[in-house]
Every structure is written in C-alpha cells, then in structure tokens.
Amino acid sequence: MEWETVIGLEVHVQLSTQSKLFSGSATRFGAEPNTQANIFDLALPGTLPVLNKDAVKMAVRFGLAIDAEIGRRSVFDRKNYFYPDLPKGYQVSQLDFPTVGKGELTFTMDDGTEKTVGITRAHMEEDAGKSLHEDFQGMTGIDLNRAGTPLLEIVSEPDLRSAKEAVAYLKKLHSIIRYLDISDAIMAQGSMRCDANVSIRPKGETEFGTRTEIKNINSFRFVERAINYEVQRQQDVIEDGGRIVQETRLYDADRDETRSMRSKEVANDYRYFPEPDLLPIVIDEDFIEAIRADLPELPDEKKQRFMAEFKLGEYDAGVLVSSRELAEYFEAVVKISGDAKLASNWVTGELQALLNKNNWEVSESPVQAERLGTLIARIKDETISGKIAKTVFEAMLDSEAGVDEIIEEKGLKQVTDTGAIESLVDDVIDNNPEQVQQFKEGKEQVLGYLVGQAMKLSQGKANPGQVNQLLREKMK
Amino acid sequence: MIEKTVAELSAALAAGDISSQELTQAYLDRIAQFNDELNAYITVCADSALAQAKAADAARADGNSSALLGIPMAHKDIFCTDGVLTTCASKILNNFVAPYNATVVERFNAAGAVMLGKTNMDEFAMGSSNETSHYGPVKNPWDTERVPGGSSGGSAAAVAADLCAMATGTDTGGSIRQPASFCGITGFKPTYGRISRWGMIAFASSLDQAGPLCKSAEDAALMMNAMAGLDEKDSTSIDMEVPDFTATLGDSLQGLRIGVPRQHFAEGLSADVEEAIQASLKEYEKLGATLVDIDLPNNHLSVSAYYVVAPAEASANLSRFDGVRYGYRCENPVDLEDMYKRSRSEGFGDEVKRRIMVGTYALSAGFYDAYYRKAQKIRRLIKNDFNNAFKEVDVIAGPTSPHTAFKLGAKSDPVAMYLEDIYTIAVNLAGLPGMSIPTGIVNGLPVGMHLVGQDFAEAKLLNVAHQFQLATDWHRRKAPLTSKEA
Amino acid sequence: MALSKAEVEQIAHLARLQLSDADIDDVTNRVSDILKLIDQMQSVDTDDVEPLAHPHDAVQRLRADEVTETNNRDALQELAPESQDGLYLVPKVIE
C-alpha cells in the first residue's frame, strides 16, 4: 500500500530576553547551577509573577512576521503537573487566548518547489529547569536556572508531508527567528527545540491516522532521521496488522530510533485554568504598529531585492538569504568589492564550502566579509587573477593579515609589466619550437598550450590576456 | 495602657507618656501571661521586637513622628517575614524561615511598627474556626471553650486580649471579618488589589486580600494608610491613588443610604444576633442615615461558587509544597512519587487535603465547564447584584456571621463550617471592601455587624464605621480575660 | 454528586496525595458532600453570562526586561531538605 505521511511540528524557542518571563533573574546560558534562580523561580510561598514586556514584544514581532492574527487580549493559564524541574507544580502557559493566532509560513524545497504551511498559534510560556541524573548516589539533581526562561511555542498545522518538508519548514522558521533576533535558536543548546507529531494514512485518505509525538529532537538532521524512523515504524506496525497507539516517544540519536516513554503514559490531566496571579494582556494598535515599524527585512523580501538589485538568480539569492548572517555578510562583501556577481559566486562557492567543511557559522569564518570584499576588489582591478585569489583565500585561513599584505608577502601580485612578460614569452617560444611551428602552420589550438607554459613559468602571476596577445604577435 | 487603641497609643508615645520599649515590654508580658491559654501566637519575637522598639524610640527622639512609630503589632503567620519562621500554620512549613519580607511587612517596618510575633491561623487560611492549625486551635478570649473564628483567629484573639495593639490578617471568604466579629474587634477587608499580595502565602489568588484587625475603625484607617498602595511586584495590585483614610472619618452620615439585604436576614440567622444588628441599624438612623431594603438575589449561590473557585486556585497554589526546595519532606522516600505523596499527605492537614481534592476534581478533564467556568459566571452574577444595589445605596449592612462564636469542635462537618461564611463570601467573589465592627453582646459574646462598600470606597466605609463607634461603645467592651487579670 | 472510590483515588494521584484505606471512605463522603453543596450552582441558568476571573477589569502591567536579581543560591539552599553541589536533590527520576 502507498502511504502518506502527515506531520505537524511544535517548536519551542527561548526568547532572548535578558531576564526571565516573570522574574528579574538572568537567563544567561551555562551559568553555575541555581545561581540564576531567585525566590520566584524557586516558587517560594508568597512570590508572584510580573510579565516581561520584551517577551510580549518578541512574540508579537514573530506574529507579524508570519502574518498572524495578534491576540488583542491574551490570557495566561496554569498547566498543572508535578515534576521536580517545575517548581510551582504548574507551568504558566496560554491555552485559549494565545498572543499569536493563525498565521502561515512559506518555504522552498531543495528542488525549488514552494510550500505554504499553516501555523495554528504561537503562545508564550515558561521553560522548566533541568534534571541531572548522573552521580548523586542514586538521586537526581535539579538545576532551576532555566526555569522561567520565556518560551514561544510555535504550533504548525498538520500540513507537512515528509521529513524533508519538516526540515525545510524548520529551517525557514529558524531563519525567520534569527532575522527577527528574538532567539539564539541554537538546537544543540536547547534554545530551539522541536517535537514532531507524526501519523500516516493510505494515500488518498482524508481522515488522519493515529499520531505519536516525538520529543527530544535536538538537531535539524535528527528531525529528518527521527521522523523517517517513526514513519517506517508506523508502516511496519500497520502492515503487520497492528495499531498505532497515541503516545509520546523519545528520539534516541545514538541508536537512531524512537521509543515509547512509558513513564509518562499515566493519563495526564493538566487541569488548565486562567492564571489568577496575572491579568489579561491587552495589546492595542499602537503597540502593534510600533513593533511593525521596527521589523527587519525578512528573507523573502530580501531575496526579491537581491534578485532585482544585484541581478542574481533565484537559487543564489535563496542561498544568500537563508540566514540573516550570511545575507549581511554578502551585502558587506558587495559594498567593499563593488561586484555583486563575483561576491555571490564567492560567498555561495568558496565561503559556503569552507563553512560546510568545518561546520562553522558565518560569524566563525576566518575570512571576514571585509577581507573577502577586498580580495574580490583585487580581482577586479587585476592585481591578481581569479585563480591566485583562491590561493590568497586559502592563505587567509592561517593568517590575520590583510589581503594586500598577503599578496605582497607571498609575491602573488599579477605580472603586468610588458618587459617581464615579453621575456617569459621569449623563453616559451625558444623552448617549444615544435609547437611554434605547428601554430604557424595554422593549428590555433596549440596557443592554449603555449599560454599555459608561460603561466606556469610565471607561477600563475602573469596576466593571461597579455601573454596571449604577445605570443600571437611574436609568432606571426 | 495595652488596652488602648492605636490612635491613643500613638498620642501617648508622641506625648512621651510611654516609650515604645515600655509598651513593647508590656505586650510581651501580656503574651507571656496569656498566650499559653489562648494559643494566639505561633512565634513570639521578643528580642527583635525590643530592638525595633528601641530603634523606634531613637527615631522619635530624632524627630520622626509617624502614626505607627513604635506601635507593637502582630502579623498573621501567612505573611513572609525575613529571618523569622513563617508556617502558615502548616506542618509542611514548620521549618520554613522566610528569606524575604512580604510587602505588607515591609510597609509596617517602614512605618516604624514593632513586630511582636506571628499569629496562629487556620492552616493555609482554610477554615472558619482556627481549628485546622497544625499548632492547635486558638481560644476565644471571651470564652476559651469557644473558637475565635477563622482563619485570622490568632490575630483576632491577640487584638481582643490585648496581646498586641493591632494585627494583620487576610480575608479570602471572611477570614478577617468573621473572627473580628467573634472576638469583638474591628476587622477590615479592603478592595481586592488595594494591598499587595507579595509575600502573603496564597490560598486563592483571585480572592485573597490582606487587611487590618484592630480596636477601632480609626485604627483600621491608620493601618490602611501604611498598608495600601500599588506594588509593582504584584500584578493584581491596583494602580490607584491612595487617600489618607483618616481624613474623612469625621464626615457626617446625614443622608447616607444604607442597603439592608433581605437575603441576610433570612433563615439561619439567630434571633439574638438579628436583634443586635437591628438595634445598630436604628443607631445609624439616629446618625442621619436612611435604611433601604435591597436584594442580592444570587447571594445563596456564593458559597457554592466560592467552594469551586477557592479550592481550584488553592489546588494549584499548594502544588509548590512538594518537599524539593523548602519545607517538609517525608523520611526515606523510596522514589519520587513516594516523596511527593508522603511529604504532602504528612505535611498537609485534613481540611487542606479536602480542598485540594475538591479543587483538583473541579478542574479535571470534563468538569471544567460545569464547575470552574460555571462558578466564574456566578461570580459575575454576584458582582452584578452588588452593582445594582449600589445604584441605590452607599453601603450595605447586615450581620457578619449568622451567630456568635461557637464551641470548639461544634462543627465537625465541613459543609456546616462552610456555611458559616454565607454573608461574607460574596464580597470576596465581587472583590469589594467589607468590614466587621462590634455591635452588641449576646450571652456574653460579641456580635459583629458587616458593612460592605463599593470598589475602592474604603474611606467611606471607614467613615461609616467610625461614626458608629463615636456614638456607641461596643468596640470598647473587653473580653472577660481582661477583667480577670485586673 | 457522589464520587466513586476510583475517582477519589485518581484525584488524589493527580494532586499527589496519599490516602490510606482507612481515610478513603471518609474522604470520599466528605468530598461528595462538598460537591453536593457546589452543585447548587447548577440551579441557575448562566448561558449568556460572561465568566468573571478577576474582580476588576484591570489589565496586565508589563515589566521592563532588566536583570534585577543577584545570585543568592547558598542562602536559599539552606532551606532545602537535600542539596549538593548547588543542585536540589530528589529521589531518582526515571525517564
């Protein structure tokens, strides 16, 4: 039987506020355990929440970026459950009246096809602390630094139809969040986390199958793997005559499999009710418009601009805007070099290859935009050839020196002095009488060989145009 | 001296008739003499009280003359006090030394008041008789076989027996007004949001409100001046100008319209209490007020709605007591579930557990609409009833409680106990200010009159009570404990 | 409304309370009595009534995003039943 996969994603991003959602504790990543947990975060009796304005602004900022309805009156609710990393015994979240309502997100697949996915809602809530299970004489250690960090939970409609689509959606979401600068959104650090609701159904069927929720997926790669594993597992179960059980499953990256979290099987009844320690958040037109006015250029708009302003192809423009940092890097290179086409080639070519190879972020590149821009400028003013430029690029990986300094130091400057080139050409003519004879007899293609010989003699530094011209003249 | 009102003590301190240290020592002596019998205090802070008194005397010598400077007081043990045991009368907090001060405590400290100690109460303020305390019941100073009312029973008994000059309390369904009534003192519950809840251990967040327990409406006004006002740390604290509550105490009641709800004089009200209340209403007529019969048609639903809203909120508010970060943890838990269940079951008393159960049930899947949402709708109806009534009247008056203080152990049935608060609960659901003032003595026990005002009209309410107290002396009557000592 | 013993056990579990067999009948009866009291609410039609969550129609104040708290871990952990290396300790959590 042919199966169709149905996926909806619940993505949690930690909003990059300085302080927590409801307290003045710091949210810095990696602090010593419990040094960023104050009396409210520890749920000491008598403590009360006060809402962080920037968290609300960031949620609205996201809502506007995905064209969502903004909840003019949003309400926090208590979600009740006991867990040691949840100090109050309830998580403050938003159930019926989220700050961000229905919106949508369009992304492009690798094959160039576009897809639009509905976003059901995005609500604010508190993060929980962390449990550390190793090495406390059989006890679990609780660190509440993370407890109360603001989260935005972005829930998609079950519109995704493959693991690849899920990853493409997630990458686009990540890109927008980074453009908006509302979260670090680093999956490995947990500032962006993804749960996937996965089900399958016979192709053509309109009813949804029973879904499972996969938790603990902490990289883009694992999203694809976890979903693919789960889809295969569900197919196997059904094809063997079994039934899918609605449950939460944990993705184990080491074994590349999902497994049932039986400990959480006990029917949860979260007993949501409006959080009485907080009042409704009322968002007016002025608040929204001030945020709208402050929105940055988003990837889709930037892509259109790059295509129009820099005459770039859609594919290249798409690659360049895929992250805010890369787009900004590219624009800086264009500004310095004055050549968008070359800048695009270098950024999508050499630079991307370098980043991919080393698994670096743009910000980690040893070749900064300023140096790459200068390098391209030196190609344009014929100080060096494109080929030599690659040598300079390589050299920049081990050196902090400026482009001109490296060219100078390594003697890579293109030789344009006619005298020097003439002597090179003379040497080549003297050393290759046979080929010279062939050329004179009309065998044009030999010229390429002779130019190559001259370039070789110059160690690539001679201007190939000049060499070509001089050879022709001398062999007349 | 210790039997005097705060206003009188303040004048005596200002005149140099007595020092705060002398006064504080006098109250400490009185506590030493009577607390074993009354059980009004859970914690007495003799040393720090004397140090505060010394500081107050020094401040006065430096020219500070604020009204509460050097006045010895008590805080209900529901308010967090930095460095002082704060138990909420529960075993689950029997080792909890709060690391911070409640805003209410901060404000009294800033006003120069002296904290004698922390008063006994119903566990987590859940009760109307002070019998649910882990530290044992408080006895009514008028008759030690009787309850002082609850949940602020320790504060009420302490004020009535002159174990302090004034005390704080909290009122979720009547917990200031009913014990004030039973103990023959003045108890004031301000409008919801008027006083910060920061540092006040939550029972039902949308109903809880702190307030004064004291010997006169004038004292309540002095306390309100210190307690009331916006606190950024409490999102439900209201940003509204705070008047000088003493400024309008002297206003005439000529033309005042007092609403008398038919529903508060119906079945269940004991005849002698009714008689005392009617007599007081006549007194008001003498002062120039007009009585207007009014209807609060949904009042009879207030107890049911309250016993959904309050337990539901409490069930979540009390989840933090889990034995992880502070408070009681059971011995040798075998696993996490065992730790949770035994710590909580051993740490909470029966009434607290019952209410957690009721609240958990009311919020559980499938019942939310029928219980919690329904109760919130009834809350709206009750608020509407008051809004309608206040179109015709300035204040509402009636009995605080259906009868006078009952005997310890007399109400073992929880539902019977809940119905004790039939006249006071609606006020919390609507968020209105309310108070109880002494208005008679029946069979040797005080009767309280319940006065209800409009939102944020506390000054009016205090004025109405004060004028009554100028004309009568019920608030001057002392519990026999006093005469026994004399 | 009267509760069954199973319902009471389920609620107790949700609330992380332990009821001994001796307690359970008493709790079931008492809680059932309270629910009977509560059920008086059902006598009134509230279909067109807007729920009231707070006594006043106030709106949430927003706080500036500033770190106002400093580390006070050592003092706060003195309140804890069990802690080690800056962590609160609980019986092992099995995932």
Q: What is the pLDDT of residue A244?
A: 93
d(CA A42, CA A102): 34
Neighbouring C-alpha atoms within 13 Å toward the C-beta of A299: 28
pLDDT score for C94: 65
Inspect the interface and report whether the beta carbons of C18 and B344 lie closer than 8 Å. yes
d(C-alpha B290, C-alpha B278), whole Å: 13
Q: Distance of CA A88 to CAs A148, A280, A284, B285, C82, Å?
A: 10, 20, 31, 51, 18
Q: Please tell me the predicted confidence (pLDDT) of residue A294.
A: 95
Distance from CA of B325 to the nearest CA of C (A): 5
Residue B227 clears pLDDT 80, i.e. is over it: yes
CA distance B75 to B73: 7
Numbers of helices and strands, H then E, in chain A: 16, 16
Rounded Cα–Cα distance for residues A358 and B442 (Å) = 89
Q: Say yes or no: domain C5-42 is CATH 1.10.20.
A: yes
pLDDT at residue B372 tops 60: yes
| Residue of B221 and A111 predicted with greater confidence | B221
Position B486 pLDDT exceeds 60: no
Q: Check CB contact of B414 with chain C, cutoff 8 Å.
A: yes
Cα distances (angstroms) measured from residue A395 to each of A347, A403, B206:
17, 9, 68
Give dist(CA A53, CA A36) in Å, integer.
20
* Tokens describing residue C38: 């509560």
Q: Does the pLDDT value for residue B480 go beyond 80?
A: yes
| B167 CB-side CA count, 13 A | 37
Q: Which tens digit of pLDDT belongs to each residue from A330-358?
A: 999 999 999 999 999 999 999 999 999 99
CB–CB of A374/A336 below 8 Å?
yes
Query: Quick check: helix, strand or coil at residue A212?
Result: strand
Beta strands in B30-160 (DSSP E): 41-44, 72-76, 114-119
How far apart CA B413 and CA B174 sit, in angstroms, is 18
Q: How many helices (H) and strands (E) does chain C have?
A: 3, 3
DSSP for residue B476: G
Q: What is the pLDDT of residues B71-113, one digit of tens each?
A: 999 999 999 999 999 999 999 999 999 999 999 999 999 999 9
pLDDT at B449 over 70: yes
Q: Do A288 and A81 contact (CB within 8 A), yes or no? A: no
Quick check: B336 and B357 in contact, CB under 8 A? no
Taking CB atoms and an 8 Å cutoff, what residues of chain A touch B313? 273, 276
Report chain B residues whose CB lies below 8 A from the CB of C3.
Answer: 361
**C6 interfaces chain B, CB cutoff of 8 Å:** no
Of the partner residues C19, C31, C80, the one whose CB lies closest to the CB of residue B358: C31
Taking the C-alpha atoms of residue C54 and residue B430, their distance in angstroms, rounded to an integer, is 8
> ipTM of the assembly?
0.97
Closest residue in B to C16 (Cα–Cα): B341
Mean pLDDT of A4-13: 97
Is there a catalytic annotation at residue B91? no
Is residue A403 a contact partner of residue A371, using CB atoms and an 8 Å limit?
yes
Residue A231: is its pLDDT beyond 60?
Answer: yes
CA angle A472, A473, A475 (to 5 degrees): 65
Contact between chains at C38 and B206 (C-beta distance less than 8 A): no
Q: Which one, of A19, B81, A43, lies nearest residue C76 by Cα?
A: A43
B397-415 average pLDDT score: 95
Is it true that the peptide bond before B151 is cis, omega within 30 degrees of 0? yes
B412 given a catalytic annotation = no
Architecture of domain B6-258+391-485: Alpha-Beta Complex (3.90)
> Which among C3, C35, C51 has CB closest to B376?
C51
Q: What is the 3-state secondary structure (H, E, C) of B125-172?
A: HCCCCCCCCCCCCCCECCECCECCCCCCHHHHHHHHCCCCCEEEEEEC
Is the pLDDT at A208 greater than 80? The verdict is yes
User: Does an H or E element contain A476, and which?
Assistant: none
Orientation of helix A386-398 relative to helix A369-380, angle to 10°: 160
pLDDT score of A113 more than 60:
yes
List the domain boundaries for chain B: 6-258+391-485
Average pLDDT over residues A78-98: 97
Q: What is the dihedral of CA A153, A156, A158, A160, to 10 degrees?
A: -120
B332 touches chain C (CB under 8 A): no
For the segment A430-443, what is each residue's pLDDT rounded down to a tens digit? Answer: 888 888 888 888 88
Which of C66, C87, C92, C94 has the highest number of chain A CBs within 10 A, making it the mutation to test binding with A? C87
Q: Is C71 on the interface with B (CB under 8 A)?
A: no
Residue C63, chain B, CB below 8 Å: the answer is yes
A40 neighbourhood in chain B, CB within 8 Å: none
SS3 state of residue B411? coil
Residue of C nearest to A76 (CA): C60
Domains annotated on chain A, with CATH: 3-290 (no CATH), 297-409 (no CATH), 418-474 (1.10.10.410)
Give the number of beta-carbon pairs within 8 Å between A and B. Answer: 103
How many Å apart are CA A370 and CA A31, to the nearest integer? 34
Please list, residue by residue across B135-172, b when 16 or more beta carbons sit within 10 angstroms of its beta carbon and e when fewer do: bebbbbbbbbebbbbbbbbbbbbbbbbbbbbbbbbbbb
User: Concatenated DSSP letters for B324-352?
Assistant: SSSS---SS-SSHHHHHHHHHHHHS-HHH
pLDDT higher than 70, residue B485:
no
Partner residue facing C58 (CB), from B193, B413, B414: B193
